[in-house]
Amino acid sequence: MVIAKKWVLVREFVGKPKNGDFSLEEEILPDEVNDGEVLCEALYLSVDPYVRFLCNVMMKPGDTVVGEQIARVTTSKNLKYSVGDVIRLSSGWRSHTLVTDVSQIEAMPDLGDLPLSVVLGAAGVTGLTAFFGLEDKLQPLEGETLLVNSAAGAVGSVAGQIAKMKGCTVIGFAGTDDKVEWLKELGFDHAFNYKKVDVDDAVSMAAPNGVHCYFDNVGGYLSTQILPHMHRGGRVLIVGSIATYNDIGKSTGPYPFEDILKKCVNVNGFSIYDMYQKWRYGEVHLVKLLQQGKLRHRETITEGFELMPSAFIGLFEGTCTGKALVKA
């Protein structure tokens, strides 16, 4: 038998997630599997802010926390998968998974010499969010100005680099001086620590003619400070709202609608899961950029499955640069 570990939700989050909101439990999985099944062991597990958002939507106390992982097959009775194969699946925060329906296994792109972990980051869902958010939604043009917040994160750092490839002037906001320096290394034209600058003054200086495209990962008050700087007919893509995920109760403003009206701004929400049919195309493109050295990435890797909650909580404390992962 295999003694598997899993992190389950003890209670719905109230405010910022806490270690006590999770419980590490064990379950026994069989050594032998039935025809068509595979047993796998986690190698890397993704840590994502959307888990906070989904807590009250699709999880209830006692459920295994949702999430994606890269795993190695340890036992197989499926002709498609052999022992030792590396697979990707959304099985949640589990150390071992018995896959009874292999249609749940996602295809892996050909990575060449790239590390496996990029499939959960720059060449995975976060990279795809940046890629399709720009390609299919914002569609920035050469010479336009694009602003991205949480710019040193897994999504924002890729979005900013791709916008630079398109010939845009790129402005990035991040939460530490180290992150700002990294954005400059990535080629951002302007990078600011939003905790240390007057946001209004910074955007006025960096985009005197207005912001054409706003890639919004954060929401909250920072976004209300950006909207008055939008170019008439500008485009806003709302990809995340991490600034308000932990809020208790309803926000009472400020309200952005007047700025949207005055500038005739186009505002759209975006979920990468609506683009699922195009993922394979996006992955091939991102892998190629990574292999060519045109796209750079960073990872914040926490060692040890037992530290999954700590790594997750760190997302809301600004401790991560690039993609947050746990190495099991």
Q: What is the pLDDT of residues 164-184, one digit of tens each?
A: 999 999 999 999 999 999 999
Both tokens of 110, joined, read 């050909």
pLDDT number for residue 223? 95
Q: What's the whole-number average pLDDT of the chain?
A: 95
Please list the residues that pair with 9 across neighbouring strands: 22
pLDDT tier at 57, thresholds 50, 70, 90: confident
What the chain holds in terms of domains, given with CATH numbers, is 2-120+298-327 (3.90.180.10), 125-273 (3.40.50.720)
Q: 214 versus 257: which is more confidently predicted?
A: 214
Both tokens of 98, joined, read 């018995």
- Rounded to 5 degrees, what are φ and ψ at 81? -130, 135
Both tokens of 22, joined, read 């999770």
Buried b (16+ CB within 10 A) or exposed e, 270-291: bebeebeeebeebbebbbebbe
pLDDT number for residue 167? 98
pLDDT number for residue 249? 80
Q: How many residues does the chain have?
A: 328
pLDDT number for residue 248? 84
pLDDT tens track for 114-167:
999 999 999 999 999 999 999 999 999 999 999 999 999 999 999 999 999 999
pLDDT tens track for 239-267:
999 998 998 887 777 888 889 999 999 99
Both tokens of 85, joined, read 């194969």
Predicted TM-score of the model (pTM): 0.95
Are 88 and 70 in contact by the 8 Å Cβ rule? The answer is: yes
Residue 55: pLDDT above 80?
Answer: no
pLDDT number for residue 196? 98
CA dihedral 288, 285, 126, 188 (to 10 degrees): 70
